Structure 1
């Protein structure tokens, strides 16, 4: 486990040394990883830091509004790039290709914003499991294997690159970050795109955004999972009223984990799963059926792509 009293001053010193007198743009998503990086960087370089939140159009329901509220006390730049990301993803079905497209779009948007302010460095919240999975060929994280090889930045600063998720949470607590942030569920950098099997479209995003919101509202408060979400698997047949429909299949996934490297599915009572399925099919007319994923990690990954 990380010794926070030793790690925090070391990380602050590392950021200060890496940045020097340069301005630094920072990818702030509102999750615990990027929030810890923001807190460390603010202490290290102060006004040299330019935190940026990119709304990719692939965020959860209410996410952008929540980020604006939570980080209202800092000079956070909110960039609406939803059309750009969705256009870049058009026609792409391969999971790795999707991750790489999203990773490149992130960098290009950050490059544009950095040019406006004269920033030359990028700071991001890469953690150790991101590196293991990307370098081990399991999947490319948008901030590691999904990044383009050439960027306009002179340096990429990753102060928590050697920490596991539970260690990042410890650092968040030691930095005095709100409990909501410290214990917030992980949300993938590529957003809802990796919860949609196949091509990402605006209509699919709308469906899974609503299904994900229902799943979280039903599971989080009662079961306190390490992570839970909904994913869009594809199309199947169903019956609504007296009509046969060809509608979406939604998978619900809820797991417990310590560091994200392994995970076990939650044992949710069948009555609760039935209620969740009934809500999703009733509230989202285009969904034909709902299934619950009972696969641990390994052999499965936590996310679907």
Structure 2
């Protein structure tokens, strides 16, 4: 059984041996992993740790200000606004892996400049076991996995990475966060990916899609928070594609196949597959069976259509239950609540469809890219 107290006793001498008397920068995204890693380092090293949050432009509404306020009494979090630089560099890119790698390069180039300014040699980040397991397994490139891929951060960016949580899973990180005294808004907070909304703007990146995604995430988080799912959010992509006649005949429903694809995992390796939607099924037994049939081929996502209109964007609502984030099941949400959420989402300019992702992990990953 995991013991936060024993973990800190074990890690403290290791941290001191690695860092010595040097100054350290801790990258905080606002998620539980990075914030817990920063809090642990701050507990061990005190004000030799400089916690920094980079506003990449792909954060949620008022994210940086909210996180800064939550951590006010625990550590002096600094916010660096680099939003125009990030959005400008990523706008127009479509490939999921290219977007992640471009974001990683921008992120660490920015971090490198901050370390040089602070006179620091070490970067602390909240990499956990699930991150490097998925990256090494070829499922997707987590932006914060470097050393495990053989990337030499010293030669590329001039700093050494310290990852105190690299052997922990999400449930253990939450226990550690509670022990360190992080507010419940952080310790119980759902994970937020390092690239932020970038991985929820599926396909081509545009400022308009990013705005739609940000508004949709605010609605989904507000409406689903009382259910306390493990992770819940909205993704956006173009409502482009066509009805698949063969699938429609065999499954007895109108199966719409989208042009955009989404990352999944089949046979423990990445599968960048197709997405398909089917009619709203209020019975989750029916929905699960339909999802199983759709994803038996090269599809990684089965989406249940909840509302349709004339706009050009599809909003996909995702809500899952999981312990370790290596596998995940869908939240069997009350159809009335789902319909209510869909109505709110349809009021966003440009939205023409709302679907509910009913795919487990595997064959889908939790995030879309």
**Cα distance, 1:80 vs. partner?**
0.5
Count of residues in correspondence between the two structures: 297
3-state SS of 1:151 partner: helix
Offset, 1:94:
1.0
Counterpart of 1:165? 170
Partner of 2:325: 260
CA distance in 1, matches of 2:89, 2:192: 21
Change (3 A) 1:254 1:205: same
Superposed CA offset, 1:257-285 (max 9, x none): 00100000011121111111111112x02
Separation of aligned partners in 1, 2:144 and 2:38: 16
Sort the Cα spacing of 1:99 and 1:278 in 2 relative to 1 into closer, same or farther, 3 A. Answer: same
Residue pairs, 1:244-255, within 5 angstroms: 245-255=310-320
Instruction: State the distance in 2 between where 1:38 and 1:246 align.
Output: 42
Instruction: Identify if the C-alpha distance between structure 1 residues 173 and 75 changes in structure 2 by more than 3 Å, giving closer, same or farther.
Output: closer
What's the Cα RMSD here?
1.7
Number of the residue aligned with 1:228: 232
Give, in whole Å, the separation in 1 of the partners of 2:27 and 2:12.
17
Give the match for residue 76 of structure 1. 77
Partner of 1:61: 61
Counterparts of 1:1-305 in structure 2, within 5 Å, are 1-73=1-73, 74-144=75-145, 149=152, 150-221=155-226, 223-236=227-240, 245-282=310-347, 284-305=348-369
- Separation of aligned partners in 2, 1:160 and 1:285: 41
Could you list the per-position Cα deviations for residues 221-261 of structure 1 after superposition, in whole angstroms to 9, with x for gaps in the alignment?
A: 1x110000000021359xxxxxx844211000100000100
Gaps of 5+ in 1: 238-243
Alpha-carbon separation, structure 2, partners of 1:39 and 1:12 = 13
Q: Distance in 2 between matches of 1:285 and 1:88?
A: 25
User: Which deviations, in whole Å up to 9, do the C-alpha atoms of 1:106-145 show, x marking residues without a partner?
Assistant: 1111111111111111110000000100111000001015
Change (3 A) 1:125 1:147: farther
SS in 2 for 1:116: helix
* Cα contact 1:226–1:255 (8 A) shared by 2: yes
* TM-score normalized with structure 1 length: 0.93
Secondary structure of 2:327 counterpart:
coil
Does the 8 Å CA contact 1:99/1:140 hold for their aligned counterparts? yes
In the alignment, structure 2 segments of 5+ residues that lack a partner are: 242-308
Distance 1:148 1:248, change over 3 A: farther
- Which whole-Å CA distance do the structure 2 matches of 1:299 and 1:114 have between them? 39
Q: Which runs of 4+ in 1 moved over 3 A?
A: 145-150
Contact 1:91 1:199 (8 Å CA) reproduced: yes
Q: How far does the alpha carbon of each residue in 1:42-82 deviate from its partner, in whole angstroms, 9 at most, with x for none?
A: 12211211110000100111212201211223322210011
Do the aligned residues in 1 keep the contact of 2:30 with 2:64 (CA within 8 Å)? no
